[in-house]
Chains A and B, each alone.
Chain A
Amino acid sequence: MRSLFYILSAMMVIGLAFWAYRENYETQEAQAEAEQLQREISLARQRLRVLNAEWAYLNRPDRLRDLADLNFDKLGLLPLQPYQFGRIDQVAFPEDDKLPVLNPVDVSNMDEEAAQ
Chain B
Amino acid sequence: MIRTPLRPLARILDARAKGENPDAIERENIRIRHEEMRDRARKRAEGRLLVLGVMFTCAFIVIGGRMGVLANSEPSEPRTSVAGAQILAQRADIVDRKGRILATNFETHSLYAQPPQMIEPERAARELAKIFPDLKEERLLKDFTGKRKFLWVKKKLSPEQKQAVHDIGEPGLLFGPREMRLYPNGKLAAHVLGGASFGREGVHAAEVIGVAGIEKFYDDRLRDPALGHKPLELSLDLSVQAATERVLHGGMSLMNAKGAAAILMDVKSGEVISIASLPDFDPNARPRPPTEGNPGDSPLFNRAVQGVYELGSTFKIFAVAQAMELGLINPDTMIDTKGPLRWGKHRIRDFRNYGSELSTTKVIVKSSNIGTARIAQMIGVERQKQFLESLGFFKPTPLEIVEAEGGKPLLPPKWSELSTMTISYGHGLSTSPMHLAAGYATLANGGNRVVPTLLKQEGPATGPRVLSRASAQKSLTMLRKVVTEGTASFGDVPGYAVGGKTGTADKPKERGGGYYEDKVIATFATVFPAHDPKYVLVVTLDEPVETSGDEPRRTAGWTAVPVAAEIIRRVAPLLGLRPEIEPGELADITLTSN
Which residues of chain A have a CB within 8 Å of any CB of chain B? 31, 34-35, 38, 41-42, 45-46, 49-50, 52-53, 55-57, 59-62, 65, 79-85
Contact = CB atoms under 8 A, between A and B. Distances in A.
A42 B182 CA distance: 20
Contact of A38 (B85, B239, B246, B570): B85
B101 A53 contact: yes
Nearest to B239: A61
A38 B184 CA distance: 28
Given A52-B104, A60-B184, 6 more contacts: A34-B79, A38-B84, A45-B88, A49-B88, A49-B89, A49-B105
B184 to A, nearest CB: 4
Contacts of A84: 573
A60 B84 CA distance: 32
Contact of A41 (B85, B188, B574): B85
Chain A CB within 10 Å — which of B185, B246, B495 has the most?
A: B185
Contacts of B79: 31, 34-35
B106 interface: yes
Nearest to B495: A82
A75 B84 CA distance: 47
A61 B185 contact: yes
Contacts, number: 74
Interface of B: 79-80, 84-85, 88-89, 100-101, 104-107, 182, 184-186, 188, 238-239, 242-243, 246, 493-496, 569-570, 572-574, 578-579
A87 to B, nearest CB: 9
B573 A81 contact: yes
Contact of B579 (A31, A35, A60, A85): A85
B146 to A, nearest CB: 38
Nearest to B577: A82
25 contacts: A31-B79, A38-B84, A41-B85, A45-B85, A45-B88, A46-B88, A49-B105, A50-B106, A50-B107, A53-B184, A56-B100, A56-B101, A56-B104, A60-B184, A60-B185, A61-B188, A61-B238, A61-B239, A62-B186, A65-B242, A79-B243, A79-B570, A82-B493, A82-B494, A82-B578
Contacts of B188: 60-62
B53 to A, nearest CB: 32
Given A49-B88, A82-B572, A85-B573, A56 B185 contact: yes
Given A42-B85, A53-B184, A85 B243 contact: no
Contacts of B101: 52-53, 55-56
Contact of B496 (A50, A56, A60, A82): A82
Contacts of A81: 569, 573
Contacts of B578: 82, 85
B184 A80 contact: no
